[in-house]
Structure 1
């Protein structure tokens, strides 16, 4: 294993995921890349006619919002990487569907392992919504290391 891709989000438990993934990568002598995926920014600038008495979607979203979102995400990734205290850790900001973006970048970067947290969701949520982790597991071509996360942590 030469490359470990660690998926993190804005949830504070991502610290545990990043540290566990980083520790595993170092034991394997592998490179580390932290990835964070933001929702497709164009979603926020969708134009819809007034419906059900709500005309909030008639506005246009300032392109600076997208730029600001990228800026904050880049700062988040830089902070997360510096937390690991290793200048060789790289970062990647992706946009779009989270599972698809992780899978796509894992192929592009030639990751040998993906590390993710398993956010605790109710069985009902998993049944109807699925989870990013389950979607990645279903479609991945590389092994996935799951870091269990409970709501209490």
Structure 2
């Protein structure tokens, strides 16, 4: 195993996921890619007519907001990379469905291991929405190391 894909979100518990993933990669002398997905950023800049009595989306929005979200995410990953102070660490930012992007990029990058956190969600939320972790586990051929985190 020579490539470890470590998934990040903005949850403060990501630090635990990164630390565990980094330790595993160090033991394997593996290359690391820190991976983050922005969920459909384009929707943050949409302007809609009032609906159901809600006018929150009816105001003009700065369409550069997407660029700002991307800059913040890139800065977050670069900061995390520098914090690790290791060699052989890259970053990758994707946009869209989180599980789908993790699965696609892990294949594209030829990852040998995916490291990701699991957040506690209620039973109803899991039943109706599923979780990113379960979606990845159900559809990958690559080993996945799950780091339990608390919300």
User: Normalization by structure 1: what TM-score?
Assistant: 0.91
Post-superposition offset of 1:47:
4.2
Q: Deviations over 1:77-113 (max 9, x none)?
A: 0111111111421111111011111111111111111
Equivalence for 1:69: 69
* Superposed displacement of residue 2, structure 1: 1.1
Specify the alignment match of 2:137 in structure 1. Answer: 137
Deviation at 1:124, TM superposition (A): 2.3
State the match for 2:8 in structure 1. Answer: 8
Matches within 5 A, 1:4-153: 4-151=4-151
Aligned-residue offset at 1:59: 4.1
Residue pair 2:45, 2:65 contacting (<8 A) in 1 also: no
Q: Distance in 2 between matches of 1:64 and 1:48?
A: 17
Q: What's the offset of the Cα at 1:45? A: 3.0
Whether the 8 Å contact between 2:39 and 2:98 is mirrored in structure 1 is yes
Give the gaps of 5 or more residues in structure 2.
none
Matches of 1:56 and 1:145 in 2, distance apart? 40
The count of residues paired between Structure 1 and Structure 2 equals: 151
| Two-structure CA RMSD over aligned residues (Å) | 1.5
- TM-superposed CA distance for 1:42, in Å, is 1.6
Gaps of 5+ in 1: none
Q: 2-side partners of 1:42 and 1:14: how far apart?
A: 24
TM superposition shift of 1:62: 2.3
TM-score for the superposition, normalised by structure 2: 0.92
1:63 is paired with a residue of what secondary structure?
coil
